[in-house]
Structure 1
Amino acid sequence: MFEVFGDRLFNGLERMSPAAGMLLVAAPGMPSPDFARSVILIVEHDFQGTFGVALTERSDTAVHSVMPEWVDLIAKPQAVYVGGPVDPQAVVGLAVTRPEVDIAEHPELNRLANRLVHVDLNSTPASMAELLQGMRLFAGYCSWAPGQLNAEIERGDWFVTPALPSDVTAAGSVDLWGDVMRRQSQPLPLFATFPASIVES
């Protein structure tokens, strides 16, 4: 029942195409419990498939414990976030640049949206200090084979919307899924408090 509800809600809305720098917002009643109330930032999307990072789940691992050289650039809370179920040993760096930074002049930064970048973690943290206003590290990622994500969007599993820089560096106490839903056009704000799961009687 609730899966069908989510399908109908998202299928009735005007759709945007997935692209780097866009968010995937899970439908209310998302059939996969792993992605309930999830918000995923698309980092790459092309004919070879889609690569993205889930933004909402904080791990119990402190950045200082695993990558201490980056800790001074990390937004609070300074924890590693869970980027997705694929390859949890891989680390993805996302960041918000300072307003005056020209991203095109820095090849170690891959622009995703306004001031929002994918950071090359082979770069030197000290060289990033003057460029970045806040950063997050994500363990693992999400991926889709060619055509898979488009099929899930057509089915109504995901809503596509532009990302804001603050989506990546939001405080740990923020309900990001609810916040993203609230800034959409009606009727999505009405469902911003939809629970992650519902126990049927």
Structure 2
Amino acid sequence: MEFFEYKNIDHPMKGDLLLSEPLLPDHNFDRTVILLCEHNEEGSFGFVLNKLSILKVDEVLEEINSFDTNLYVGGPVQQNTLHFIHNIPVLRESGQQIANNLYWGGDFDQLLWLVQHGEIDKDKIRFFVGYSGWSEEQLQQEIDQNTWIVARGVHPSYIFNTAPEKLWKNILEKMGGRFKVYANYPSDPKLN
């Protein structure tokens, strides 16, 4: 089940994806896809879904030494923090719902127990160091300046099951129209 919607969205909302414009000059967000976890009058935050860390989760958490899964760089803010998004039924109650079947955080002790007992499907969870954040009205200003493309209605299974290096391009292609053209822009237009 895959569904993507793009409209001239005036105000993004929690659960939307932010895709960087193809020629965004900020290397922190070059061809990134950010899951927007909160967006309100106080500010916004989310996690970069397609920027792998050089480390694996079991290399940063001693408690889960047998959980060899990718660790992502969620953004440039507070990279000394660890976060996770998931679709794990037993953790839903303690997590914060972002969208249908997609949650942020939860009871960390319960998560550790589930990992240690082999009860976690690696295709239903992602771990991040740091996050991406915007102050009050900052994200809206960036959207108005065409820094971000907003995608709505991307199913969580698509997020978890698409290779990180293909996510940005695949979503733009599925959005169609001019976005399909953006998906094929060269990283450096001078080399075209």
Name the CA shift for 1:146/1:186 in 2 (closer, same or farther; >3 Å). same
Query: Following TM superposition, by how much is the alpha carbon of 1:17 offset from its aligned partner in structure 2, in angstroms?
Result: 2.3
Query: Following TM superposition, by how much is the alpha carbon of 1:155 offset from its aligned partner in structure 2, in angstroms?
Result: 0.6
Q: Give SS of 1:21's match.
A: coil
Query: Following TM superposition, by how much is the alpha carbon of 1:157 offset from its aligned partner in structure 2, in angstroms?
Result: 0.5
Structure 2 counterparts to residues 21-170 of structure 1, below 5 A = 21-67=15-61, 69=63, 78-97=69-88, 101=89, 106-120=92-106, 122-125=108-111, 126=113, 129=119, 134-162=124-152, 163-170=154-161
Aligned length: 181
> Contact (CA 8 Å) 1:16, 1:160: kept in 2 or not?
no
Name the CA shift for 1:197/1:140 in 2 (closer, same or farther; >3 Å). farther
Paired residue type of 1:83: G
Residue 192 of structure 2 corresponds to residue 192 of structure 1: no
Looking at structure 2, the residues matched to 62 and 131 of structure 1 have their Cα atoms a distance apart, in angstroms, of 16
Query: Following TM superposition, by how much is the alpha carbon of 1:174 offset from its aligned partner in structure 2, in angstroms?
Result: 4.2
Looking at structure 2, the residues matched to 135 and 71 of structure 1 have their Cα atoms a distance apart, in angstroms, of 16
Paired residue type of 1:186: G
> Contact (CA 8 Å) 1:26, 1:37: kept in 2 or not?
yes
Looking at structure 2, the residues matched to 166 and 64 of structure 1 have their Cα atoms a distance apart, in angstroms, of 23
Looking at structure 2, the residues matched to 71 and 43 of structure 1 have their Cα atoms a distance apart, in angstroms, of 28
> Contact (CA 8 Å) 2:79, 2:131: kept in 1 or not?
yes
Q: Give SS of 1:183's match.
A: helix
> Contact (CA 8 Å) 2:37, 2:98: kept in 1 or not?
yes
Query: Following TM superposition, by how much is the alpha carbon of 1:193 offset from its aligned partner in structure 2, in angstroms?
Result: 2.2
Counting aligned pairs with the same residue, the percent is 26
| Equivalent in 10, 13, 18 of residue 19 of structure 1 | 13
Structure 2: state its 5+ residue gaps.
1-6
Structure 1: state its 5+ residue gaps.
1-12
> Contact (CA 8 Å) 1:93, 1:121: kept in 2 or not?
no
Q: Give SS of 1:175's match.
A: helix
Looking at structure 2, the residues matched to 130 and 34 of structure 1 have their Cα atoms a distance apart, in angstroms, of 30
Deviation track 1:55-90 (CA, whole Å, cap 9, x = no partner) reads 111111111112254577x7xx71211100011111
Q: Give SS of 1:188's match.
A: helix
Paired residue type of 1:38: T
RMSD of aligned C-alpha atoms? 2.8
> Contact (CA 8 Å) 1:26, 1:36: kept in 2 or not?
yes
Counterpart position of 1:3? none
Which structure 1 residue ranges, 4+ long, deviate > 6 Å from structure 2?
none
Hey, which of these two has a bigger chunk of helix by percent?
2
